[in-house]
């Protein structure tokens, strides 16, 4: 088995992915991402989610009436995804890899979501291939959204909050970004570094800080009442596109349009 596939499979086989976005500490990430998806998802559009996990977004979108196709790499996640999608007619679930979407024709989808694969790609050729495949299957004029992880957030969260700075130090490059090492499981970027991966096949729309510094403040957020959470979300949605917020956000959402 390819080392990348092995690391990803082993990680998710031992991780409660189906519960992650249900946790209060991840409220901002889920609600913000869903907010931007629904902003661009026109009525009747065809949506592809690549790396759908257990279906947190795909199932919600299908329940809202969208025609959804979900692709997931990890068998254990796919099994749960299919169970979560059971009885919903307008969702199809397949096993597949972000770097090879050959089962889909060019220009097939109005909205393409890649909300996980970029976390686990390390080789430049794989990163470029995943982006190219997402662009290829998207219709001209369609929207592509890709989630990625911030290098700065990894240093603050894993290095400072969890006390792993000494372990991280060998992975920090001269400019402060992180090396992409497969056995670390997660791949991270500076904002400018991620934006530079795209060429004239797409038009940049915006970058969004989907969870801001909430990873660092999860103990406080977990104590919030429902009203406090809603107030935080209301403020966050007003500020999450600000360049001030992007670098320290753990999860970011890059939005572009195929030209």
pLDDT of 187 strictly over 90: yes
Residue ranges and CATH numbers for the domains of the chain are 3-258 (3.40.50.150)
pLDDT band at 3 (very low <50, low <70, confident <90, very high): confident
User: SS in 3 state form for 39-58?
Assistant: HHCCCCCEEEEECCCCCHHH
Give just the sign of the alpha carbon dihedral 13, 214, 249, 209.
Answer: positive
Q: Work out the angle at residue 243's Cα, subtended by the Cα atoms of residues 242 and 245, and round it to the nearest 5 degrees.
A: 70
Dmax over Cα atoms in the chain, in whole Å? 52
Average pLDDT value over all residues in the chain = 96
pLDDT digits (tens, 9 = 90+) for 28-86: 999 999 999 999 999 999 999 999 999 999 999 999 999 999 999 999 999 999 999 99
And the tokens for 59? Answer: 């199932």
pLDDT of 170 above 70? yes
194 closest CA partner among 242, 148, 234: 148
More confident site: 66 or 247: 66
What whole-number distance in Å separates Cα of residue 253 and Cα of residue 33? 7
pLDDT in tens, 223-245: 999 999 999 999 999 999 999 89
In the predicted model, is pLDDT for residue 2 greater than 90? no
């Amino acid at each position: 088995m390819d080392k990348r596939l092995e690391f990803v499979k082993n990680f998710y086989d031992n991780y409660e992915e189906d519960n992650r976005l249900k946790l209060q500490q991840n409220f901002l990430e889920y609600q913000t991402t869903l907010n931007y998806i629904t902003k661009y998802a026109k009525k009747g559009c065809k949506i592809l989610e690549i790396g759908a996990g257990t279906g947190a977004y795909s199932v919600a979108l299908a329940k809202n009436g969208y025609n959804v196709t979900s692709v997931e790499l990890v068998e254990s996640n796919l099994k749960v995804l299919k169970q979560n999608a059971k009885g919903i007619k307008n969702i199809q679930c397949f096993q597949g890899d972000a770097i090879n979407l050959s089962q889909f024709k060019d220009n097939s989808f109005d909205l393409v979501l890649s909300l996980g694969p970029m976390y686990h790609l390390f080789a430049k050729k794989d990163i470029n291939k995943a982006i190219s495949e997402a662009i290829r299957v998207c219709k001209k004029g369609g929207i592509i959204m890709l989630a990625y992880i911030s290098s700065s957030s990894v240093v603050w969260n894993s290095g400072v909050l969890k006390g792993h700075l000494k372990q991280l130090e060998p992975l920090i490059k001269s400019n402060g970004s992180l090396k992409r090492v497969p056995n670390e499981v997660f791949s991270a970027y500076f904002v400018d570094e991620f934006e530079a991966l795209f060429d004239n096949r797409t038009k940049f729309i915006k970058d969004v800080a989907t969870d801001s510094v909430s990873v660092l403040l999860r103990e406080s957020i977990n104590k919030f009442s429902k009203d406090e959470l809603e107030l935080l979300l209301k403020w966050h949605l007003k500020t999450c596109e600000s360049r001030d917020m992007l670098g320290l956000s753990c999860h970011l959402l890059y939005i572009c349009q195929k030209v």
